[in-house]
Amino acid sequence: MFMPHIHLNELDQLDKQVKGFGLSLFSFARFRRDDYVKGDPDLAQAVKNKVYALTGKMIDGNITMLCHLRYCGLYFSPLNLYYLHDNEGQWQYMLAEVSNTPWNERHYYAIPAPQYWQGREYSHDKAFHVSPFNPIHQQYHWRVTEPDSNLLVNLAVSRNKDCISPGKYPRGLKNSHQKVFDATMQMRKENFTSAILIKQLLLTPIMTIKVVMGIYWQALKLFIKGAPIYDHSNNTPSENINKHKIKRGNDNA
């Protein structure tokens, strides 16, 4: 899998320099503004406004995003990440843009940069139904690094035993906060050039299809195994804001 890591203030430059990538309708790997955070026409400002709505903090520095693009006119991304820096270049927040399928809903979490954590991970309540095989009454535990030559995003999920219906709590869990799911994404940086993009597109022409097929293939395997299915009707997409404020020692693992 590959994901472009883009400086939002360099989009126009990349549009001119990288063959295969563009902002226009006819670009094979297209950055389409409407696919990302809604609000201000300027995506960087929309991201800042979203983090402000979630945290009460306005971060004024540069923003980079780790995302999927629209390939051959098709788009879906379960997770886009926006890295916000202050005017001194210090990383302050990561905005996680989470989408589900087939409902095509979206929700946001503002994750403070690791220097504001008390422990090795940042924990908060789950506020958005993503998979029908996981209940809403769960906690997320993040471990992340700032994008550099390498990148790490680890998300573990735990659930509160008291919130699970009888007969649905997984066997073998020894306590209410034991982690029941763990996903890690480790990526290595390559320059965003025409040659690199063309190489990746030759390996995986339409990344969107690969992502969606992977999601439904895993869902089919869980269904065949008889995994419990949880109600989606009480979902709370992005209009219900989940606040996380920077404060040392707050909401930590």
Over residues 121-160, the pLDDT tens digits come to 999 999 998 888 888 889 999 999 999 999 999 999 997 6
Range with lowest mean pLDDT among 34-38, 79-83, 202-206: 202-206
Domain containing residue 137: 5-224
Confidence band (pLDDT; 50, 70, 90) for 249? very low
C-alpha torsion 93→87→48→183, nearest 10: -20
Q: Judge whether 117 lies within some domain.
A: yes
3-state secondary structure 21-63: EECCCCCCEECCHHHCCCCCCCHHHHHHHHHHHHHCCCCCCCE
pLDDT band with cut points at 50, 70 and 90 for residue 104:
confident
Q: What is the DSSP letter of 80?
A: E
224: its two tokens: 């065949």
* Total of domains in the chain: 1
Q: What is the pLDDT of residues 19-71, one digit of tens each?
A: 999 999 999 999 999 999 999 999 999 999 999 999 999 999 999 999 999 99
- CA-CA distance, 230 to 246, in Å (whole number)? 32
The strand pair at 5-7 and 138-144 is best described as unpaired
Mode of pairing for the β-strands spanning 29-30 and 21-22: parallel
Closest C-alpha among 11, 12, 28 to residue 20: 28
pLDDT bucket at 4, cuts 50 / 70 / 90: very high
Per 3-state DSSP, what percentage of the chain is helix, strand, and coil (rounded to 5)?
25, 25, 50
pLDDT of residue 241 exceeding 80, the answer is no
pLDDT at 247 over 50: no
Beta strand 21-22 with 106-112: parallel, antiparallel or unpaired? Answer: unpaired
In a domain, 206, yes or no: yes
Inside any domain, residue 244:
no
Residue 131: predicted pLDDT: 84
